[in-house]
Amino acid sequence: MTVHTETTGSGERAGAAGEAIRPHAEDAFAGELKALVAADDRPRPERWRLSPWAVATYLLGGTLPDGTVVTPKYVGPRRIVEVAVTTLATDRALLLLGVPGTAKTWVSEHLAAAVSGDSTLLVQGTAGTPEEAIRYGWNYAQLLAHGPSRAALVPSPVMRAMADGMTARVEELTRIPADVQDTLITVLSEKTLPIPELGEEVQAVRGFNLVATANDRDRGVNELSSALRRRFNTVVLPLPATPEAEVEIVSRRVDQIGRSLDLPAAPEGIDEIRRVVTVFRELRDGVTTDGRTKLKSPSGTLSTAEAISVVTGGLALAAHFGDGVLRPGDVAAGILGAVVRDPAADAVVWQEYLEAVVRERDGWKDFYRACREVSA
Domain at 77, CATH number: 3.40.50.300
SS3 of 195, please? strand
Whether residue 139 is found in the same domain as residue 205: yes
Q: How far apart are CA 245 and CA 74, in angstroms?
A: 10
CB contact at 8 A, 207 and 47: yes
Query: pLDDT digits over 314-331, tens only?
Result: 999 998 999 888 999 999
Provide the residue type at 206 as one letter: R
Predicted confidence (pLDDT) per residue in 326-376, tens digit: 999 999 999 999 999 999 999 999 999 999 999 999 999 999 999 999 987
pLDDT attached to residue 3:
47
What pLDDT is stored for residue 261 in this prediction? 81
- Which pLDDT does position 100 carry in this prediction? 83
Question: Could you list the residue range(s) of the whole structural domain that residue 15 is in?
Answer: 10-236
Q: Are both 161 and 223 inside the same structural domain?
A: yes
Residue 5 lies in a domain: no
103 shares a domain with 202: yes
In a domain, residue 4? The reply is no
pLDDT at residue 7 in the model? 45
Residue 327 lies in a domain: yes
Of 236, 259, 283, the position where a domain reaches its end is 236
261 Cβ partners below 8 Å, 6+ apart? Answer: 21, 312, 316
Q: Are residue 20 and residue 148 in the same domain, yes or no?
A: yes
Rounded to 5°, the CA angle 248-286-306 comes to 40
Last residue of one domain, picked from the residues 173, 203, 236:
236
- Measured CA to CA in angstroms, residue 294 lies from 299, 353, 356, 366 at distances of 16, 10, 10, 23
- Looking at the structure, tell me whether residues 344 and 285 fall in a common domain: yes
* 64 lies in the same domain as 201: yes
| Claim to verify: residue 283 and residue 227 sit in the same structural domain | no
Cα of 88 vs its chain's centroid, Å: 17
The CA dihedral of 200, 204, 205, 209, to the nearest 10 degrees, is 170
Calpha distance 249→124 (Å, rounded): 25
Residue at which a domain ends, from 236, 259, 292: 236
Examine residue 3 and state whether it is found in any structural domain, yes or no. Answer: no
Residue 19 within any structural domain of the chain: yes
42 and 191 housed in the same domain: yes
Question: Smallest Cα–Cα separation from 118: which of 196, 15, 49?
Answer: 49
Tell me, what amino acid is at 84? A
**What was the pLDDT predicted at 18?**
58
CB 3 within 8 A of CB 137: no
What one-character DSSP code corresponds to residue 291?
S
Half-sphere exposure at residue 47, Cβ-oriented, CA atoms within 13 angstroms: 18
Task: Tell me how many domains the chain contains.
Answer: 2
Tell me: the pLDDT tens digits for 120-136? 999 999 999 999 999 99
Angle between helix 78-88 and 52-60 (nearest 10) = 140
Q: What is the pLDDT of residue 269?
A: 73
Task: Give domain status of residue 1, yes or no.
Answer: no
Alpha-carbon distances, residue 371 vs 54, 171, 322 (angstroms)? 45, 35, 17
Say whether both 53 and 69 belong to one domain: yes
Q: Domain check: are 223 and 248 in the same one?
A: no
Cβ-based burial of 166 (10 A; exposed 0-12, middle 13-18, buried ≥19): buried
Establish if 2 belongs to a structural domain. no
What distance in Å separates the CA atoms of residue 157 and residue 131, rounded to the nearest whole number? 12
Q: Which residues pair with 236 in a beta bridge?
A: 97
Q: What is the predicted pLDDT for the residue at 2?
A: 45
Same domain? For 247 and 189 the reply is no
**CA of 145: how far to CAs of 132, 139, 151, 152, 198, in Å?**
20, 10, 11, 9, 16
Same domain, 232 and 248: no
Per run of 10 residues, the mean pLDDT along the chain (length 376 residues) is 45 56 92 97 97 98 95 94 97 93 94 98 96 96 92 97 98 94 95 96 97 80 90 94 93 86 72 95 95 93 92 92 91 95 93 95 95 88
